[in-house]
Amino acid sequence: MLFGLVLSISILGNATCYYVFEYTKDPTVGDALWFSVISLSTIGYGDLQADSVGARLGIVVFVIILGLGSFSLMIGMLFEWVAERLSREQKGMGSISAEGHILIVNFPSLHRIEQIIEELCADRDHGGREIVIVTDKIDELPLRKRNVSFVKGAVLHDETYRRAGIDRARLAIVLATDYGDTTSDAVVASAVAVIESMNESIYTVAECLAPRHRMLFDSVRCNSVVFSHTISGNLLTQEILDPGVARMMDALTSNIHESCLFATEVVDPPGEYSYRNLASSMVKQDMSLLCVQRESDMITSFAGAQPVHGDRMIYVGKQRVSWQHILAGTVDG
């Protein structure tokens, strides 16, 4: 504030001297201010110049003695503030101001984080959202991406999530702390509890390493639990028995490929439709219905199955579509 005050005095003082002593040129107030700012910045375009003794003394006092030092210091302080802010953000010490962003909690490995970020960025509907990594396991963000930020702090402390903008976040992925950590599932479940207590509308997905720890998530409002080790083990077994299945799953579960898996919620279905009819109409729309999730059950055979409000249809397609879009295709067919 002091340097800013001195800088203002130097600009106004020099402008006043020019306006008063260069009266033969009949300068305007704008001319005087322009001359003062250009002189202070040492650019000196030459379109205006001081010829009178008073105006030149004004330059000596207000520009050379007062202005140049304060101007240089102000610029230096500005660059230092920007550099410090960027450094704090890179080291996770800042606060997030984003809206509708995605949280990735914990940092099991750089490869794991990069793969998840790549998939999120490739999604057509959510690829533009900012991603915020929350962890206390790293001192500085080891990757440089335009829409990826970092908040350093304990994943069980509410202050960490406040800095991560938890009240404005839309999605949260809570990863395992470490794939060799036997207490990981307990930490993940506790982190989900903290997140859900601070934002009831956020959609959370938790990674669980051991299926026997499923009950840890029963007491928290976690939207979905993924048993990553179980899934990878099932794929390895399936691949040895039926070669090609693992490669297909790799293609279908990646947003990078042209077609992948999507899920759409059923809303107020008409009574005359069946999943078999819907599956047939979806093929005509270049989509393939694979299964239907109904609460904790998965329906894979559509004979006699009727759509129920709240079901989630899981299908292969080129883009995520609404229930109304699927239903419209059935009516048109």
The reply to whether domains 2-90 and 102-232 share a CATH topology is no
| Confidence (pTM) | 0.73
User: What are the sequence ranges of the domains in the chain?
Assistant: 2-90, 102-232, 259-332
**Domain 102-232 part of CATH 3.40.50.2300:** no
- Which of the residue ranges 63-67, 240-244, 286-290, 322-326 would you say has the lowest mean pLDDT? 63-67
Tokens of 30: 């704008």
Q: Are strands 171-174 and 203-208 parallel, antiparallel or unpaired?
A: parallel
User: CATH fold of 259-332, please?
Assistant: Alpha-Beta Plaits (3.30.70)
Residue partners of 100: CB distance under 8 A and separation at least 6 = 129, 168, 169, 170
Range 133-151 burial, b when 16+ CB lie within 10 A, else e: bbbbeeeebeeeeebbbbb
User: Are 199 and 169 contacting, i.e. CB atoms less than 8 angstroms apart?
Assistant: yes
- Taking the alpha carbons at both ends of the chain, their separation in whole angstroms is 71
User: Are 135 and 109 contacting, i.e. CB atoms less than 8 angstroms apart?
Assistant: no
For the chain, percent of residues with pLDDT exceeding 90: 50
User: CATH fold of 2-90, please?
Assistant: Helix Hairpins (1.10.287)
Most distant CA atoms of the chain, gap in Å: 100
pLDDT tens digits for 309-322? 999 999 999 999 99
Amino acid at 302: F
pLDDT tier at 44, thresholds 50, 70, 90 = low
Distance CA 8, CA 15 (A): 11
